[in-house]
């Protein structure tokens, strides 16, 4: 599918180029599969991520999120399939690609005995960053590390250690930032601050972050990809996710007394009914408006409708509906 290693037009071209229009794609993944022995961690993943998007990678434990991130960041190889980062094929250009990436791994490995600046200078050395002192000062400012700068990493709180991890990921000014659970274990104030740093970074960079926290996705991400059992089961703008539940609607109705809802269950478009005393939740097909049927049911059964409203699904409920039972 890709051009040969020597390139089609230019024999001296030392990179394998993405066959698609890489000007607009930051990451392009085609039929990516990863096996750990018998265990299939990723199963035929196809994905395109545009420049400048903050993408949330969601999924239950063991879904394959970390595996996908480790492959994108060249830490482990795929079993089969193709992957391009900024137009470069990962199989032939992992060194080039690493220079374009910033990565915060899940367990944020740091050197506890080092001072923050010392550690960042060490990382800058690995990346061979010129004028690294001014770059380090800039990153310390962005990540809000200044108040703790006199401490060794081992003496920092979890939130500040996470900032150091983000600082090292941002140091080489990467165009793609991969963050594996960047806010895990942080308190509510730290959460808000780290999310702000990520959002700021996301204005110029492509960001992929995994998380378990639904509010985080709503607060930070432009796009959500849900992985379950190694497969992508949803991929859309955050606000469009409800369509992946089959577009069903939930109407909440309160009658003046407990009703026998058997006949309502048989109405056109009704999928299921949950009753809690006089209040009930009626799940219906998205394209059917069942409100008139509910009023008719109330009249026929000598009931008064005290209230009726449509429940908005939270992202958390949508996530559970998409990933449970598949």
Q: Which stretch binds ligand ADP (CB under 6 A): 44-52, 56-64, 127-135, 316-324?
A: 56-64
61 is an interface residue for ligand ADP by CB under 6 A? yes
What's the token pair of residue 84? 């391009």
Q: Cα–Cα distances in Å, from 52 out to 207, 232, 301?
A: 7, 21, 56
SS3 sequence, 251-281? EEEEECCCCCCHHHHCCCCEEEEEEECCEEE
**Member of 47, 65, 120, 178 binding ligand ADP (CB under 6 A):** 65
List, in sequence order, every beta strand (DSSP E) within 65-110.
80-85, 88-89, 101-104
Toward ligand ADP, which CB reaches closer, 31 or 229? 229
Diameter over CA atoms, the chain: 83
DSSP 200-260: HHHTTSEEEEE-S-HHHHHHH-SEEEEEETTEEEEEEEGGGGGGGGTT-EEEEEEESS---
Question: Is residue 71 within the footprint of ligand ADP (CB under 6 A)?
Answer: no
Q: Which is nearer to ligand ADP, 75 or 295 (CB)?
A: 75
- By CB under 6 A, which span of 45-53, 65-73, 236-244, 274-282 interacts with ligand ADP? 65-73
The answer to whether the beta carbons of residues 30 and 2 sit under 8 Å apart is: no
Stretch that binds ligand ADP, among 33-41, 239-247, 251-259, 268-276 (CB under 6 A): 33-41
Using the rule CB under 6 A, which residue among 56, 59, 87, 102 binds ligand ADP? 59
Please report whether residue 56 would count as binding ligand ADP according to CB under 6 A.
no
Choose which of 56, 64, 87, 182 interacts with ligand ADP (CB under 6 A): 64
For residue 36, the minimal CB distance to ligand ADP (Å) is 3
Residues in the site for ligand ADP, rule: CB under 6 A?
36, 39, 41, 59, 61-67
């Amino acid at each position: 599918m890709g051009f040969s290693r020597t390139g089609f037009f230019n024999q001296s071209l030392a990179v394998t180029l993405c066959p698609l229009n890489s000007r607009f794609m930051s990451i392009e993944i085609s039929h990516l599969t990863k096996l750990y022995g018998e265990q299939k961690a990723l199963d035929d993943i196809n994905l395109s991520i545009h420049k400048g998007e903050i993408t949330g990678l969601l999924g239950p434990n063991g879904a394959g999120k970390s595996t996908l991130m480790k492959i994108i960041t060249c830490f482990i190889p795929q079993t089969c399939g193709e992957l391009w980062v900024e137009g470069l094929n990962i199989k032939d250009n992992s060194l080039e690609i690493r220079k374009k990436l910033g990565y915060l791994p899940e367990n944020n490995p740091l050197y506890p005995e080092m001072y923050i600046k010392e550690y960042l200078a060490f990382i800058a050395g690995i990346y061979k960053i010129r004028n690294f002192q001014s770059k380090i000062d800039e990153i310390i400012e962005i990540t809000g590390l200044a108040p703790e700068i006199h401490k060794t990493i081992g003496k920092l709180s979890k939130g500040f250690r996470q900032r150091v991890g983000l600082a090292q990921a941002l140091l080489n000014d990467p165009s793609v930032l991969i963050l594996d659970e960047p806010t895990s274990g942080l308190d509510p104030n730290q959460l808000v601050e780290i999310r702000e740093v990520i959002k700021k970074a996301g204005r110029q960079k492509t960001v992929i972050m995994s998380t378990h926290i639904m509010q985080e996705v709503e607060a930070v991400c432009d796009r959500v990809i849900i992985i379950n059992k190694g497969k992508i089961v949803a991929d859309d703008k955050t606000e469009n996710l409800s369509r992946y539940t089959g577009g069903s609607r939930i109407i909440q109705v309160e009658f003046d007394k407990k009703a026998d809802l058997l006949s309502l269950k048989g109405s056109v478009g009704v999928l299921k009914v949950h009753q809690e005393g006089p209040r009930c939740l009626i799940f219906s097909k998205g394209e059917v408006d069942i409100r008139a049927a509910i009023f008719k049911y109330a009249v026929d059964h000598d009931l008064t409708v005290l209230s009726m409203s449509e429940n908005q699904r939270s992202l958390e409920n949508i996530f559970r509906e998409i990933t449970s039972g598949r």
